[in-house]
Structures are given as C-alpha cells and as structure tokens.
C-alpha cells in the first residue's frame, strides 16, 4: 500500500532548501575570506604611516593643531555669518540724520538742519597733504595691505603692552570704514571678527581710492559734522580744497577722538594733536621737517560758529520734518540735500516785526504772552512763518500745533456749506433769535438779538445764533467734512457747538483753509518746499506748478464768501484789519474765556492767519480777535503791500489805488495825491511823499530794492 503522505512536490521542496543553505554557507565563507584579505592589505598600507619614537610626538602635535584649526575655521565662519548678511544686500548703515541746506525762494542760503555732511568733493580735489596726514596717523600701510594690517596690528599690541598710549591704532582705515558702514559702536571680540571679514569684503569690491573717499566722507569729525568737507567748512569756514597744512593736520587728528580734539571744544588739545600729526608726516617720510615747520609755528584756529538768530528758525524746523518725509518716501541712499523753499526773507522780517511788536506793546494790558502767524501766497506757497515771539527762549512752534480753537474764524465753513447745500446768498434774510440744541443755548457776544438780519450782516457782526441755526439745517457732519477738505488736518469731535469753532486747528491749517477762498475755490494746501536735490545736483523732488487742483467750492460760493469777508473789515468786527488802498478781507475769532484770539484773511496777494494766546491756556484780559490779532495782521499786510502791485480779490468790488513805487518824482507824487479825492489827510499825504523820497535815497546810495523796501515799516509808522 502506498504512503498517502508521500508526494513529489514535498521532495522537491526539501531539495530547494538544502541548495539555499549551501549557497548561504559558501557566500559567508567567501565574504570572510575577502574581508580577511582586505584587512590584511589595510594593515599593510597603514604600516607605512606608522610613526614611532620622536617622530610620533611631532605628528601628534600637528594632528591636534590641524584639528583645532578646523574647529577654529568653523567657528570663524559661524561668527562671520552676520557679515555675510550685512554684505548680501550691499546696503550701508543709514546716516544717523540728514544734512539739509535750506535756500529761500530766490536761492540764497538761510540755514541748515540735521548733521553737517558733504560728499560732493572727489578725492582727487582734496589736498594731498590732507590725505597724507590721515594715512600717516591712521594707516601708513593702507595701500599695501589687503584690508587688515597685520604688521600694524602687531605693532599696536606691542605698544599697548608697553603702557604707551601711542599715536596709532590697530584697526586699518578699511576696518574703521567697515565699522562705520555696517556695524554698531560696541566693542566685542565678535564684532572685531565681523569687522575683519567686512574689511576684506570691502577690499574685494572697492578700489583703495574708493575706500579712502568713503572714509573721508563718513567719518565723524565732531560738532555734528560727518566727513572732511563738512568739517573744513564748520571749523575753518573754507572749502576743503583751500585748507592749509596746519588745518589739515588738525582735521586728521579728529578721526580717532573728535570729542577730545575738536577745536571748538578744546583748542589747546586740538593743536597738540595736530602737532603730533605733523610729526607722523615726517616719520612716515611723506614730508620733511622743513616742510612742516611753518605749520608748527602757525597752528590752525577755528572760526566762531555762533548761530544766526536772524534765520527763519521756526520755518526751518518745520521744513526739516517735511524734507525728511520726502527723503524717506524716495528711499534715496544719500543723506546730503539742498532744499529750495518758498520763504521770502523780507516778508519773514515783516511778519516777525508785526507779531513781536504787537505782543510786546500790549502784553501787559491784555495779559497775553505768545502769538503765531503763517503767511502764504494765494497758491499756498509759505512766505513767512512765526512760531512764537522768541525762538532763542522757546523752540516750540505754535504755528503748526493743532490744539487751539478758532472761535468765529471757523464760521467760514458753516456759511460756505450753507451756500453750497442750501443755495443761500449773502442778502438772504435770517432771524437772529434764541436757539437751543438740547440743553445748550448759545448766546451772542452782547447777549442780545438783532431779529431779522441778512446773512452778510450776521457774518460781519459775528452773531452766534445764526451759524448754529444754519448748522441744524445743513448738518454738522457735512460742515466738518468741508473743513477737512478745505485744509484742516486734525480730527476733532463733531459736537453741537461745532458751528462756533469748537475744534482743534493750527495756524497753518487755517491759512490753507482761507487760501481756498483766495484761490477761487480750489484746494490750496500750504507748502514750503519747491525743490530738493542732492549736493551733486540730482533732483529728488520738485513741485509741479501745473498740477491740477481739486475744486472744493463753486465760484459762486467763493464770491459770496469773499464779499462777506470784506464786509467784516469795512463794517464788522475786523475794522482794525483794514489796509488803505488794498482789498483786504478777513474774519476775527475769539474763544470762550478769551483763551484764544484769531484773525484770518487775505488780499489778492497774500493769505495770513494770526493767533494770540498763552502757552498754559490761561485766559487773556478780554482779548478778542478784532483787536491785537487784527492789528498785527494789518501791520504785516501794510508792510507787504508797499511798493507792490496790488492784485484784486475775486468777488470783491474794489479798485486798488496805484502802487507808490520807487524812483517816483516826489513833487509829481505830491501833485497826484493832491488831485485825488480827500481820502487821505494832509499829514498822511506828506508821509507818502517822504516815503517816496526815502526809497529813492536808498536806491541812489547803492541799495537794492529789497533794502529800500526794508525802510518802509519805519517810514509808514503812524500812517
């Protein structure tokens, strides 16, 4: 009988497993044999490098040395990663501030702000002895090393170890430049390593002359000056091309410690340092002792740098902020700029005289201490800015701070919105009567009511109930919106007393707002910068005089508003603002408790807003906008329109009298005045004749027209 468990397949399976087992055994054997042969060969090879005895000592030392060198290289690379990041963009550190030279509207320098810096002079134009003095003192091997002066560093280490303070540092000029361009002023080992990498990077990417030029332009020289060009002008009042050897030596001594050796701080120390620089020049072989003898005997002296108090400092402070905004938006790499402004120095003096004299003559009577004024032309160009009565005592610019209430001067927005929205006219009647919004019931200045009056009369008399009534009809939100469109920039709450001027405004913004009326209803923001360039002449910004302007008010509304503003001066609260022979228009404003007093208005030539008050907000002694502010406004406008073509005001029916000009014949002028209608008193007519004579005398003596105009305020006093 056959075995039921016997099959061919089972026998085949057993045979396959035996074959696999045999293959595995043979493979393991062959691998062991191959590994044994390989190991034997490896031992034979390594036996060649086996060192014994004294040789093994040197091998171990070198091996450890290479190991530590590799570790050090990895560490150096890790520390240098910030240097790689700094050079990745190729951008240098931004200057701590900008250097801006301000020019008036005619191109004459009026002052500077920020740091003093000038990179416009090429290295080839700088005196050879200035370059040699810097190299002799800072880096004699500058043109020989690769960015790091190994010899100089070792020499500095030896000098410092000996206790001698020495005259040379361990850092090369390239390293010092790397610190100025990329790093902070901290003193750490890590920063020194990064500085070394950056120095090598600079040497790879710039020529030696380019590095030296950057160093001369970016080094701090004391007194707020960066670079040798600015330092030469600041300390010696010269172009860097014109400095003497003694002055060059004094400047070369400033690179390492400008605060210690600046001549305007310690002239003796500066001269001692300069003498050391002269010795370095001789020691380095750049000059002989005979060549430096004259400079030793006649050391340099710094000029006086007293600030010019006659500069329009309030304006320049404001313009500096405006200029920085323009620079930052342009993202220009330079930090040295020339700004052409709109300021007129003659008008600036007139404005200062009008404001300061009015305050000083009346401060005790009215208990008022401060005032501010902004003047623009009818296109918004700022011609004068007075931020206070004494810049030397207070640099706080009251002309641009939006924390004051304008009182009735705000009513132009209320009436303009009523004309625009409701279609009213100045002759339309309205009832002056008690009006309340909730529990708030405003009253007129005299606590009386006029009954039925025209809008023009209500505006001229500055009645309070009428604008409140108009605000109820138009809505206060629309009035606030119009005020912002016309020129107010500060946000303020829309309260029920808004129509009476309970809002935060600045003198500058009020000037811009009234300029809309002077410019036929077009938006006319005040501006003070017309052009900005780098010192090399590259244009960064320029005003486009033909740029389109947004229409804010219709010409009909403008004409109506201007005629009412004229009525304020001819028969309302602004009579003291009347300027004989000039179509002047304006509006007074007085806040509660007499804390603020305003007068804002314009002619066909200029727009001006004036504020009087106290810095601590304490009330004045019954000061209203129709008194001192109107008087100061009138005084300025009288000055400004002397010897000037009088332009008309849109919407005002006024024919200006011919301007009295220089070179007029006094006798003919007297005859012409005598033939005019008796609008002038004999005394006033005589003063006009004297004025013409005075102008002619100034011109005949060689004076300019501007100088002749400067005599006008004194000649017209009391006119």
How far from each other are the two terminal CA atoms of the chain, in whole angstroms? 157
Residue 314 belongs to what H/E stretch?
A: helix 313-330
Q: Are residues 453 and 506 in the same domain?
A: yes
pLDDT in tens, 346-375: 999 999 999 999 999 999 999 999 999 999
Q: Are residues 445 and 563 in the same domain?
A: yes
What's residue 40's pLDDT?
83
What's residue 545's pLDDT?
86
What's residue 712's pLDDT?
46
Which of 57-66, 96-105, 607-616 ranks highest by mean pLDDT? 607-616
Show the tokens assigned to 108: 């004459």
Residue 11 has pLDDT above 60, yes or no: no
- The band of 76, judged by pLDDT with boundaries at 50, 70 and 90, is low
603 or 331: which carries more pLDDT confidence? 603
96 or 553: which carries more pLDDT confidence? 553
Residue 571 belongs to what H/E stretch?
A: helix 555-571
Cβ neighbour number for residue 489 with a 10 Å cutoff: 13
What's residue 416's pLDDT?
97
pLDDT in tens, 465-504: 999 999 999 999 999 999 999 999 999 999 999 999 999 9
Mean pLDDT of 698-713: 50
- The band of 186, judged by pLDDT with boundaries at 50, 70 and 90, is low
Domain end: 297, 314, 332, which one? Answer: 297
Q: Which of 36-40, 229-233, 240-244, 388-392 has the lowest mean pLDDT?
A: 36-40
Q: Are residues 133 and 70 in the same domain?
A: no
- The band of 661, judged by pLDDT with boundaries at 50, 70 and 90, is very low
Q: List CB contacts of 406: < 8 A, sequence separation 6 or more.
A: 501, 503, 505, 510, 589, 591, 596, 598, 600
Rounded CA-CA distance 75/319 in Å is: 50
Rounded CA-CA distance 290/294 in Å is: 8
Mean pLDDT of 36-62: 73
Q: Which of 82-86, 104-108, 250-254 has the lowest mean pLDDT?
A: 82-86
Q: Are residues 442 and 553 in the same domain?
A: yes
Backbone angles phi, psi at 427, to 5 degrees: -85, -5
Residue 629, CA distances (Å) to 362, 590, 688 in order: 11, 10, 26
- The band of 86, judged by pLDDT with boundaries at 50, 70 and 90, is low
Q: Exposed, middle or buried by CB within 10 Å (0-12, 13-18, 19+), for 468?
A: buried
Helix (H, G, I), strand (E, B) or coil at 304: coil
CB 127 within 8 A of CB 368: no
Task: State the chain's mean pLDDT as an integer.
Answer: 83
Q: Are residues 499 and 582 in the same domain?
A: yes
In a domain, 315, yes or no: no
Rounded CA-CA distance 207/349 in Å is: 51
What's residue 326's pLDDT?
92
265 or 591: which carries more pLDDT confidence? 591
Between vectors from CA 426 to CA 424 and to CA 431, what angle results, nearest 5°? 80
CB 432 within 8 A of CB 465: yes
Q: Are residues 565 and 684 in the same domain?
A: no
Show the tokens assigned to 15: 């045979």
In a domain, 330, yes or no: no
Q: Are residues 141 and 236 in the same domain?
A: yes
222 or 429: which carries more pLDDT confidence? 429
Helix (H, G, I), strand (E, B) or coil at 578: coil
Residue 616 has pLDDT above 70, yes or no: yes
What's residue 371's pLDDT?
97
Domain region containing 245 = 120-297
CATH of the domain at 363: 3.40.710.10
Backbone angles phi, psi at 609, to 5 degrees: -125, 135
Q: Are residues 685 and 622 in the same domain?
A: no
Residue 7 has pLDDT above 80, yes or no: no
pLDDT in tens, 421-459: 999 999 999 998 999 998 889 888 777 888 999 999 999
Mean pLDDT of 172-176: 84
- The band of 714, judged by pLDDT with boundaries at 50, 70 and 90, is very low
In a domain, 304, yes or no: no
Torsion angle of C-alpha atoms 301, 119, 224, 348, degrees rounded to 10? 100
- The band of 674, judged by pLDDT with boundaries at 50, 70 and 90, is low
Q: Are residues 575 and 683 in the same domain?
A: no
259 or 442: which carries more pLDDT confidence? 442
* Helix-helix angle 267-283:128-138, to 10 degrees: 90
In a domain, 269, yes or no: yes
Q: Are residues 704 and 625 in the same domain?
A: no
Show the tokens assigned to 363: 């401060």
In a domain, 169, yes or no: yes
CATH of the domain at 140: 1.10.3810.10
Domain end: 606, 640, 674, which one? Answer: 640
In a domain, 557, yes or no: yes
Q: Are residues 672 and 601 in the same domain?
A: no
Q: Exposed, middle or buried by CB within 10 Å (0-12, 13-18, 19+), for 46?
A: exposed
Between vectors from CA 459 to CA 458 and to CA 464, what angle results, nearest 5°? 70
CB 582 within 8 A of CB 401: no
Residue 527 has pLDDT above 90, yes or no: yes
pLDDT in tens, 368-424: 999 999 999 999 999 999 999 998 788 889 999 878 999 999 999 999 999 999 999
Show the tokens assigned to 449: 């009511």
Mean pLDDT of 636-664: 77
Residue 168 has pLDDT above 80, yes or no: no
In a domain, 650, yes or no: no
Q: Are residues 699 and 610 in the same domain?
A: no
Residue 700, CA distances (Å) to 218, 491, 665, 670, 707 in order: 50, 54, 13, 20, 12
Show the tokens assigned to 624: 């209203």
Residue 125 has pLDDT above 80, yes or no: yes
Cβ neighbour number for residue 136 with a 10 Å cutoff: 25
> How many distinct structural domains can be found in the chain?
4
Residue 672 has pLDDT above 70, yes or no: no
What's residue 664's pLDDT?
46
Rounded CA-CA distance 635/59 in Å is: 97
What's residue 167's pLDDT?
44
In a domain, 653, yes or no: no
- The band of 610, judged by pLDDT with boundaries at 50, 70 and 90, is very high
Q: Are strands 596-602 and 539-542 parallel, antiparallel or unpaired?
A: unpaired
- The band of 679, judged by pLDDT with boundaries at 50, 70 and 90, is very low
pLDDT in tens, 293-309: 999 999 999 887 655 56
Residue 710 has pLDDT above 50, yes or no: no
Residue 273 has pLDDT above 80, yes or no: yes
């Amino acid at each position: 009988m056959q075995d039921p468990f016997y099959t061919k397949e089972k026998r085949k399976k057993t045979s396959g497993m035996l074959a696999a087992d045999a293959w595995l055994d043979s493979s393991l054997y062959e691998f062991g044999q191959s590994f044994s042969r390989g190991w034997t060969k490896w031992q034979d090879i390594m036996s060649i490098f086996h060192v014994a005895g004294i040789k093994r000592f040197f091998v171990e030392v070198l091996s450890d040395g290479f190991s530590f060198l590799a570790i050090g290289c990895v560490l150096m690379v890790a520390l240098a990663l910030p240097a790689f990041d700094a050079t990745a963009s190729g951008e240098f550190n931004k200057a701590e501030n900008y250097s801006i030279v301000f020019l008036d509207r005619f191109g004459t320098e009026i002052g500077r702000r920020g740091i003093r810096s000038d990179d416009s002079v090429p290295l080839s134009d700088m005196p050879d002895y200035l370059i040699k003095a810097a190299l002799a003192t800072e880096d004699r091997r500058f043109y020989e090393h690769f960015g790091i002066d190994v010899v100089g560093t070792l020499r500095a280490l030896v000098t410092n170890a000996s206790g001698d303070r020495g005259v040379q540092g361990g850092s090369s000029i390239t390293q010092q430049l790397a610190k100025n361009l990329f790093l902070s002023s901290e003193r750490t080992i890590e920063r020194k390593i990064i500085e070394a990498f950056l120095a090598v990077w600079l040497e790879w990417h710039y020529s030696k002359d380019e590095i030296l030029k950057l160093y001369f332009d970016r080094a701090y020289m004391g007194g707020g000056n960066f670079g040798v060009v600015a330092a030469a002008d600041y300390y010696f009042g010269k172009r860097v091309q014109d400095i003497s050897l003694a002055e060059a030596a004094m400047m070369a001594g400033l690179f390492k410690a400008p605060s210690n050796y600046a001549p305007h701080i310690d002239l003796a120390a500066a001269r001692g340092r300069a003498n050391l620089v002269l010795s370095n020049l001789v020691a380095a072989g750049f000059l002989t002792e005979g060549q430096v003898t004259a400079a030793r005997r006649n050391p340099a002296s710094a000029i006086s740098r007293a600030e010019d108090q006659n500069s329009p400092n309030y304006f320049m402070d404001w313009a500096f902020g405006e200029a920085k905004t323009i620079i930052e938006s342009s993202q220009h790499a330079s930090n040295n700029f020339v700004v052409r402004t709109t300021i007129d120095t003659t008008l600036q003096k007139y404005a200062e005289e009008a404001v300061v004299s009015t305050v000083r003559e009346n401060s005790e009577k009215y208990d008022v201490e401060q005032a501010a004024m902004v003047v623009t032309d009818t296109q918004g160009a700022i011609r004068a800015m007075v931020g206070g009565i004494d810049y030397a005592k207070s640099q706080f610019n009251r002309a641009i701070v939006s924390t004051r209430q304008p009182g009735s001067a705000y009513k132009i927005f209320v009436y303009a919105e009523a004309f625009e929205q409701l279609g009213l006219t100045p002759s339309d009647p309205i009832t002056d009567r008690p009006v309340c919004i909730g529990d708030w019931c405003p009253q007129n200045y005299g606590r009386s009511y006029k009954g039925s009056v025209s809008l023009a009369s209500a505006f001229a008399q500055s009645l309070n109930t009428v604008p409140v009534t108009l605000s109820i009809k138009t809505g206060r939100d629309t009035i606030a919106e119009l005020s912002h469109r016309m020129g107010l920039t500060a946000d303020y709450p829309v309260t029920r007393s808004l129509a009476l001027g309970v809002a935060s405004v600045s003198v500058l913004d009020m000037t811009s707002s009234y300029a809309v009326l002077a410019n036929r209803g077009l938006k006319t923001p005040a501006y003070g910068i017309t052009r900005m360039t780098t010192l090399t002449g590259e244009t960064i910004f320029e005003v486009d005089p033909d740029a389109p302007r947004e229409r804010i008010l219709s010409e009909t509304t403008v004409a109506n508003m201007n005629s009412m503003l004229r009525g304020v001066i001819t028969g309302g609260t602004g009579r003291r603002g009347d300027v004989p022979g000039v179509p002047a228009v304006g509006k007074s404003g007085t806040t509660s408790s007499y804390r603020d007093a305003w007068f804002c208005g314009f002619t066909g030539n200029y727009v001006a807003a004036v504020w009087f008050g106290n810095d601590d907000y304490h009330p004045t002694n019954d000061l209203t906008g129709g008194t001192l502010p109107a008087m100061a406004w009138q005084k300025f406008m009288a000055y400004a329109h002397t010897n000037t073509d009088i332009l008309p005001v849109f919407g005002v029916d006024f024919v200006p009298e011919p301007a009295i000009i220089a070179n007029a014949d006094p006798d003919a002028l007297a005859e012409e005045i005598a033939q005019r209608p008796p609008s002038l008193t004999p005394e006033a007519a005589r003063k006009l004749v004297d004025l013409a004579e005075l102008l002619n005398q100034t011109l005949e003596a060689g004076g300019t027209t501007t100088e002749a105009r400067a005599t006008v305020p004194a000649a017209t006093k009391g006119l």
